[in-house]
């Protein structure tokens, strides 16, 4: 497992820019590249892939999360995203949720306002823990189920 001092921002940024160069964005002409380092040290990345049915286009973060899962899973510790000029881009709201699901606690994001944690860019996030907490309660009374762990 890597620690904060092992985060290789140069490699993450390079991967994001390389991914941006592969974007399929003929409708918006707004290529995006996203990249992140995983808690085992590897780097995953993705680009946006648009569609003639505009609404079903995929953000770069979708491809990144797919690459993460396909290459062995793990938790993301550091993330960046760039636009067609190579400038830092904020992940859209939906993609913050996508990233939250796969984030290590305290995951760092390079943002337009500097380094931020996943909790800062998606405060009070809804995530897997909420589902777990619900499954342990009786919806009628709100009390913890007897015998539930």
129: three-class secondary structure by DSSP: helix
Tokens describing residue 29:
């002409």
Count other C-beta atoms under 10 Å from residue 5's C-beta: 5
48 vs 61: CA distance, rounded Å: 8
Question: Closest separation between CB of residue 122 and ligand THU, Å?
Answer: 13
> What backbone torsions phi and psi does residue 56 show, to the nearest 5 degrees?
-100, 10
**Which of residues 30 and 135 has its CB atom nearest to ligand THU in the complex?**
30
Question: Closest separation between CB of residue 30 and ligand THU, Å?
Answer: 4
**Which of residues 30 and 126 has its CB atom nearest to ligand THU in the complex?**
30
6 vs 24: CA distance, rounded Å: 32
Binding site for ligand THU (CB under 6 A): 25, 28, 30, 32, 48, 50, 57, 59-61, 91-92, 95
Q: Is 61 noted as a catalytic residue in this protein?
A: yes
**Which of residues 2 and 25 has its CB atom nearest to ligand THU in the complex?**
25
Query: What amino acid positions are annotated as catalytic residues?
Result: 61
């Amino acid at each position: 497992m890597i620690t904060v001092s092992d985060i290789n921002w140069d490699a993450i940024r390079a991967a994001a820019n390389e991914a941006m160069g592969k974007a399929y964005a003929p409708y918006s002409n707004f290529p995006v590249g996203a990249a992140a380092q995983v808690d085992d040290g590897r780097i995953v990345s993705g680009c946006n892939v648009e569609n003639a049915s505009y609404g079903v286009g995929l953000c770069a973060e979708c491809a990144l999360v797919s690459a993460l899962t396909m290459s062995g899973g793990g938790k993301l510790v550091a993330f960046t995203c760039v636009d067609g000029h190579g400038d830092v881009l904020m992940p859209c709201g939906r993609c913050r949720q996508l990233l939250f699901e796969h984030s290590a606690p305290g995951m760092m994001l390079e943002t337009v306002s500097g380094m931020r944690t996943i909790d800062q860019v998606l405060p009070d996030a809804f995530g897997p823990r909420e589902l777990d907490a619900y499954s342990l309660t009786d919806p009628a009374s709100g009390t913890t189920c007897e015998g539930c762990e």
